[in-house]
Structure 1
Amino acid sequence: MNSQEMRDKIAAGQGFIAALDQSGGSTPKALKGYGIEEDAYGSEEEMFGLIHDMRSRIITSPCFSGDKVIGAILFERTMDGDVDGKPTPQALIERGIVPFIKIDKGLEDEANGVQLMKPIPGLDDLLARAKGLGVFGTKERSVINLANEAGIAAVVGQQFEVAAQVLRHGLMPIIEPEVNIKSAERADCDRILRDEILRHLDRLAEGTQVMLKLSIPSEAGLFQPLVDHPKVLRVVALSGGFSREDACAELAKNKGMIASFSRALLSDLRHGQSDEEFDKTLGGAIDEIHAASIA
């Protein structure tokens, strides 16, 4: 796939985007969920080697293909690694899957009810390297905990500022201002966020597009103006702590949104499963998430 073919697949593909981008802080939890305890590795390098093995097993599974998985978000180390002797982005492209990379470096402490992204040193170099490896786009995450208008405006402003830098490198940014689904002010957060994003979209130059990765809204259909906006290539949903069953049920209520799940995709996979068990378990999760994404 060339860049235009990847854009077309993301814009109109009947499937979802897998999030395989657990980074340093979340890797031990991801490995534990996979059945590998912390005493199984003695260094950060060993830890990242084990998580790469898990991701390689997923990517090479027969059920993990572009028929239902149209894209995959990678951690930087995964992007720089190999799968079946090929650079990971190339291995995905050959399976018909569009590669993205997570670029944020974690979150600042909460202020005004939100957590902004930490600075991203060396971002231009990372974007240039990703582009050279065939990566199509990026993902960058912030968190919204309270319906604070100033805080949400700061989150969206920072996201679009980073997105502009990504666009200058010819990559597609996925803007991810996650609303905490456990927030008592979730519904108000959703509405303020939608309106703030719309204001920033209207300021983008004609012909410019971004992607959005959002928590599934508490009110079904609330993000339809974002789904329909000409400057949005695609709106994808994070599972945000929902079980796969609940995330799929909620997603199916929102026309035009597709999944970009991590825990909800990987939650039943275990290191000790045989290849047959692993592929059957992963295939079942892919089928369920795919069905919700095209509902």
Structure 2
Amino acid sequence: MNMKQLDRIRTGKGFIAALDQSGGSTPKALLHYGIEETRYANEDEMYALVHEMRTRIIKSSAFDSRFILGAILFENTMDREIDGQLTADYLWEKKGIVPFLKIDKGLADLEDGVQLMKPNPGLGDLLKRATGRGIFGTKMRSVIHEANPAGIKKVVQQQFATAKQIMDMGLVPIIEPEVDITRPDKAESEKLLKAELTQHLSTLDPHAQVMLKLSIPSEDNFYSDLMNEPHVVRIVALSGGYSQTEANEKLARNHGLIASFSRALSEGLTAGQSNDEFDAMLSQSIQSIYEASIK
């Protein structure tokens, strides 16, 4: 584990950029960016275009370590280069931004009100590659759709079992049990989730280090006590489908909670913009998310 990177994530002012749209969500991300599906004939061409988009974001003067602590990458991005350097090396050495990797393989079908992560038999090999490619930590997503105690228990059990495998490789896991923001029982789901997280954190080895990525809670500062839990490096928030403005407003009311936004970060960016227009739009987004994160 890189202690300089750990200290930056633990104590730095700023937020984490989520640049980790994977195979299923990449066409949608490209469409928001103004690239129609007719522009690419196969997966290779699609991934080349999305890497161009991510490279443009990362190389932008607006993508600055004064505001951004870390960036979450998709596996395909980790394996590619920016200006002759592996993406993670470029992020850290050129930008001073800590690289993370999305490691889940998507969501299983809905059961007990939740979607667990799909089985991931290749995880061990992926983690080995990640450690060799300059990755500091990982991210993995499950989704809670209703306040079902049995389902929420299963989500947290799976997340922590996977987190232990990740920590054994010297990486810091971001545990992400997203609560669906559209559900009427969201607040009740968060109460059940917090109880499960607290219980599992208490069972970790003394030196274990994890991060949590959670939906912005219905009750302001609901996760404040978890921020002081000795195993928790940082708690970050996902935008969860809120617009950038709404996500920022809600985030700013939760002191100590910082952003890890994906769609809300890239809102308004398009392939057809000039570099000046692109940088100005990205700078505006980064500044607003930063301000909400340091409240």
Q: What TM-score do the two structures reach when normalised by structure 2? A: 0.99
Give me the whole-angstrom Cα distance separating, in 1, the residues matched to 2:291 and 2:202. Answer: 32
Give me the whole-angstrom Cα distance separating, in 2, the residues matched to 1:84 and 1:282. Answer: 21
Counterpart position of 1:127: 127
Give me the whole-angstrom Cα distance separating, in 2, the residues matched to 1:3 and 1:133. Answer: 13
Cα offset, 1:105, TM superposition: 0.2
Does 1:237 find its partner at 2:241? Answer: no
Cα offset, 1:121, TM superposition: 2.0
Cα offset, 1:63, TM superposition: 1.2
Cα offset, 1:249, TM superposition: 0.6
Cα offset, 1:30, TM superposition: 0.2
Would the aligned equivalents of 1:174 and 1:212 in 2 still touch at CA under 8 Å? Answer: yes
Counterpart position of 1:148: 148
Counterpart position of 1:107: 107
Flag structure 2 segments of 5+ consecutive residues without an equivalent.
none
Cα offset, 1:208, TM superposition: 1.2
My pick for the range that moved more, 203-212 or 28-37, is 203-212
Counterpart position of 2:191: 191
Counterpart position of 1:53: 52
SS at match of 1:203: coil
Deviations 1:168-212 (A, max 9, x none): 000000000000000111010111101110000000111212000
Give me the whole-angstrom Cα distance separating, in 2, the residues matched to 1:63 and 1:33. Answer: 20
Counterpart position of 2:74: 75
Aligned residues: percent identity?
56
Letter in 2 for 1:186: K
Counterpart position of 2:293: 293
Would the aligned equivalents of 1:209 and 1:233 in 2 still touch at CA under 8 Å? Answer: yes
Deviations 1:207-259 (A, max 9, x none): 21200000000110111121111110000000000000010110011111100
Counterpart position of 2:91: 92
SS at match of 2:174: strand
Flag structure 1 segments of 5+ consecutive residues without an equivalent.
none
Deviations 1:135-167 (A, max 9, x none): 100000000000000000000000000000000
Q: What TM-score do the two structures reach when normalised by structure 1? A: 0.99
Letter in 2 for 1:41: Y
Counterpart position of 2:6: 7
Cα offset, 1:87, TM superposition: 0.4
Counterpart position of 2:42: 43
Counterpart position of 2:251: 251
Deviations 1:60-88 (A, max 9, x none): 00111211111000000000000111100
Letter in 2 for 1:255: H
Deviations 1:239-283 (A, max 9, x none): 000000010110011111100000000011000000000000000
Matched positions, count: 294
Give me the whole-angstrom Cα distance separating, in 2, the residues matched to 1:98 and 1:211. Answer: 14
Give me the whole-angstrom Cα distance separating, in 1, the residues matched to 2:34 and 2:74. Answer: 20
